[in-house]
Amino acid sequence: MELYDIIFYFFAAMILVSGFVVVGSKNIVYSAYSLLFVLVGIAAFYILLGADFLGVVQLMVYVGGILILLLFGIMLTNKVKGVEIKSDSNFVIPSLITIAVFTAFLLFVITETNWLEITPEFVQTTVKSLGIELIQNYSLVFEILAVVLLIALIGAATLARNDNKEN
């Protein structure tokens, strides 16, 4: 086993274990913290896959942004005085069976397919080429995304605003 493999298995285990905690934990705060580990693991995966910039972005946006947002959401929507930060489930058994079958199929397809595998080349750094790509071939998408983000920003602010008239 090489070092690469060891690192992979380490992070894969981390992702899976934390993933189970995320979806299975009764305490939603635990879920949120486990999600942190899942996301960090995925960032590590990106780096293993030669996408260094993406890994950094994953850390910054997901861990630094979305996760914090989710934590805020938890904080604002649960009665913080202690007892209520629990969340239960429903339809567990049928859903579990369905999803198990679904996953089995997925894994079956993945393992049975003869993927055309080329020995990957490692590029030293992708930041520069990504940047060039972003303003050349993907410039339109880039601009549209900017607008989408703006709209999301305004929309979220409008939706979450406390309407003074009602209160």
Residues 24-43 contacting another protein, CB under 8 A: 28, 31-32, 35, 38-39, 42
Q: Among candidates 58, 52, 43, which has minimal Cα distance to 126?
A: 52
Smallest gap from residue 152 Cβ to another protein (A): 4
| 33, 56, 63, 74: which one binds another protein (CB under 8 A) | 74
Q: Specify the residue, 76 or 83, whose C-beta has the smaller distance to another protein.
A: 76
Q: Specify the residue, 80 or 153, whose C-beta has the smaller distance to another protein.
A: 153
Rounded to 5 degrees, φ, ψ at 163 are -80, 115
- 50 touches 123 (CB < 8 A): yes
Calculate the alpha carbon distances from 141 to 127, 135, 147 in Å: 18, 9, 10
Which 116-135 residues touch another protein, going by CB under 8 A? 116-118, 120-121, 126, 129-130, 133-134
Which 143-162 residues touch another protein, going by CB under 8 A? 145, 148-149, 152-153, 155-160
- What DSSP state is assigned to residue 60? I
Counting residues that bind another protein (by CB under 8 A) gives: 85
Which 78-97 residues touch another protein, going by CB under 8 A? 87-92, 94-96
- 44 touches 7 (CB < 8 A): yes
Smallest gap from residue 101 Cβ to another protein (A): 5
83-111: b (≥16 Cβ within 10 Å) or e: eebeeeeeeeeeeeeeeeeeeeeeeeeee
- 17 touches 10 (CB < 8 A): no
Smallest gap from residue 108 Cβ to another protein (A): 9
Smallest gap from residue 25 Cβ to another protein (A): 9
Q: Is 111 in the site for another protein (CB under 8 A)?
A: yes
